[in-house]
Amino acid sequence: MTRVVALGVCLSLLTSACEADRVEVGEAGAEPDLGVVRTDPFRMTGAFEGESYLVTPCTDSEALIRLEPGPEVLDLVVLHADLVPRDMPVESIFVDLFGVAIQDGNDVTFEVQQVYRAGWEEWGCSWVPLEVPLRFAASGTEPEWTFHVGADSTATLARSDSSASGAVSALEGSLAAGWTLMGEVGGEAWTLELVEAPCRTPISGGFSHLSATLTWRGESLSGCGFIGDATDAL
């Protein structure tokens, strides 16, 4: 009998998700409860070409898992072709995927429900966020900036010449409607808007499932974003 199981059972990875409703700070000085946007993503590496797609989880370099055919896998085929330099016979890309594991006897396959991120060289299994656990990440170029929001209501903004940290004061939205976050870093107010729209990094071509706009110090900075890691205990 075929059964669908969470990766927490078969691979020690949790891949359930929920959307965040409007959350604001109540009493003065209190930290907002951001809720769980998504638990640990299925981060892995694989080559998406040919007819069979075998991938390796970042948490277990010895495991090989076959992806179930579907439209999201076809999206990965296109992304793979765009990202790899084609210098070697087999070239893998790194991806963050959301979905479910399907166990049939001793065989485990993975049904991809959404691609959150795909890249060639700019990140990989050893990638470390500025905030841990990470709730949201966004970045852009011209000027170069990176903005990470933690599950503990903290945020860090890094630019080419400096970095600043601060607190999240409000969060509202959902994956379907998009999120708006507000807070303060370095004594300056900021607003981060995230919408469910595919985004490609201009230089590397890396893919993210969210488009981002960061407003800070009177500047409106455009970029790409994605939902980050979090544990279900948060």
CB 206 within 8 A of CB 118: yes
36: its two tokens: 């769980």
Class of domain 3-14+39-119: mainly beta
168-179, pLDDT tens digit by residue? Answer: 999 999 888 999
127 Cβ contact list (under 8 Å, min separation 6): 94
Q: What is the pLDDT of residue 39?
A: 42
Q: What is the pLDDT of residue 31?
A: 55
62-108, pLDDT tens digit by residue? Answer: 888 899 989 999 999 999 999 999 888 889 999 998 888 888 887 77
Domain ranges of the chain: 3-14+39-119, 128-227
10-51, pLDDT tens digit by residue? Answer: 333 333 333 333 334 334 455 555 544 444 457 889 999 877
**Spatial separation of the C-alpha atoms in residues 90 and 36, rounded to whole Å:** 37
230 Cβ contact list (under 8 Å, min separation 6): 36, 37, 38, 39, 40, 133, 134, 135, 151
Cis peptide before 85 (omega within 30 of 0): no
Is the pTM higher than 0.85?
Answer: no
145-187, pLDDT tens digit by residue? Answer: 999 999 888 999 999 888 999 999 999 998 889 999 999 999 9
Q: What is the pLDDT of residue 81?
A: 93
